[in-house]
């Protein structure tokens, strides 16, 4: 079975892929959207607050659904990082990975900058509409979830799981995507990761910023189908 799993980014949710799933259906691609651990309305493994723990939780979820054969993964942002991490640690469970807007290079200084923006009190003051959105799409208390993601980023800065010298050992077909207007992820880190992957491809999406809601679902579906040779 050529199963495609869709993984959102940090603070994202499975329902955001509704339009993409519709577009993929027109290409006879069976796609399932998963929330990351601790996210969304159907919570599982709220205690999974690092990439390794999220990977374990995702594998258990796949097992529960009987998806024991290798799967194709599309991951946005953190979802893409998680997909490639699975290739590294449990390669037999993954067939291929397509990422978009994933931040690859993490050090403590970068983690400190990213986590400084994940302060619940400041978020309530500066981006109240986004806070209300988080309350709507996540069952877990949004402040706990935000603090969990801040911890996850700190952990990424400490352990740097997917630096170029590490991903050189990943031989799965991969396509590393980046929006040309993404201000959260650099072209340099994206190219460095792509070049390090033995079976990697690079794709830049025009007129595309970081938030998934700004991505052209039809174009993305076309590119996923091309990647999967469908």
Domain count along the chain: 1
* Domain-embedded: residue 68: yes
Q: Which domain holds residue 196?
A: 4-104+161-227
For the segment 173-181, the average pLDDT, to the nearest whole number, is: 98
* Domain-embedded: residue 128: no
- Of the pLDDT bands very low, low, confident and very high (cuts 50, 70, 90), residue 201 is very high
* Domain-embedded: residue 114: no
Residue 42: the pLDDT is 82
Report CA torsion sign: 73, 78, 84, 90.
negative
pTM: 0.96
- Of the pLDDT bands very low, low, confident and very high (cuts 50, 70, 90), residue 43 is confident
- Of the pLDDT bands very low, low, confident and very high (cuts 50, 70, 90), residue 44 is confident
- Of the pLDDT bands very low, low, confident and very high (cuts 50, 70, 90), residue 150 is very high
Interval 53-81: pLDDT, tens: 999 999 999 999 999 999 999 999 999 99
* Domain-embedded: residue 195: yes
For the segment 136-164, the average pLDDT, to the nearest whole number, is: 97
Residue with tokens 């978020």: 123
Which letter, b or e, does each residue of 3-13 get, where b requires 16 or more Cβ atoms within 10 Å of its Cβ? bbbbbbbbbbb
* Domain-embedded: residue 80: yes
- Give the full edge-to-edge strand order of the sheet including 200-205: 31-33, 4-7, 71-76, 94-100, 174-179, 200-205
CATH number, domain of 19, equals 3.40.50.1820
Mean pLDDT rounded to a whole number for the chain: 96
* Domain-embedded: residue 60: yes
The answer on pLDDT for 230 being more than 70 is no
* Domain-embedded: residue 125: no
Residue with tokens 């659904």: 65
The answer on pLDDT for 1 being more than 60 is no
CB proximity list for 136: less than 8 A, separation 6 or greater: none
DSSP three-state, residue 190: helix
The answer on pLDDT for 33 being more than 80 is yes
* Domain-embedded: residue 52: yes
For the segment 126-150, the average pLDDT, to the nearest whole number, is: 96
CB proximity list for 34: less than 8 A, separation 6 or greater: 5, 6, 7, 14, 58, 61
Residue with the larger pLDDT of the pair 150 and 45: 150
- Of the pLDDT bands very low, low, confident and very high (cuts 50, 70, 90), residue 45 is confident
- As a whole number of angstroms, the distance between CA 183 and CA 177 comes to 14
CA dihedral (22, 218, 175, 14) in degrees, to 10, reads: -40
Residue 148: the pLDDT is 96
């Amino acid at each position: 079975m050529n199963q495609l799993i869709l993984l959102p980014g940090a603070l994202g949710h499975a329902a955001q892929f509704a339009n993409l799933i519709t577009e993929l259906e027109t290409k006879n691609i069976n796609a399932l959207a998963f929330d990351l651990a601790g996210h969304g309305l159907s919570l599982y493994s709220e205690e999974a607050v690092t990439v390794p723990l999220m990977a374990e939780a995702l594998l258990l979820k796949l097992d529960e659904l009987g998806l024991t054969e290798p799967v194709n993964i599309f991951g946005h942002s953190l979802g893409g990082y998680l997909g490639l991490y699975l290739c590294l640690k449990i390669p037999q469970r993954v067939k291929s990975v397509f990422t978009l807007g994933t931040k690859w290079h993490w050090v403590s200084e970068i983690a400190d900058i990213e986590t400084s923006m994940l302060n619940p009190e400041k978020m309530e003051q500066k981006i109240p509409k986004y806070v209300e959105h988080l309350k709507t799409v996540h069952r877990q208390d949004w402040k706990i979830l935000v603090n969990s993601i801040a911890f996850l980023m700190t952990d990424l800065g400490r352990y740097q799981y997917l630096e170029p010298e590490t991903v050189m050992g990943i031989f799965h077909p991969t396509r590393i995507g980046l929006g040309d207007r993404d201000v959260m992820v650099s072209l340099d880190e994206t190219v460095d990761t792509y070049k390090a992957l033995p079976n990697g491809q690079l794709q830049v999406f025009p007129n595309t910023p970081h938030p998934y809601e700004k991505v052209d679902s039809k174009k993305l579906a076309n590119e996923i189908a091309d990647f999967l040779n469908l």
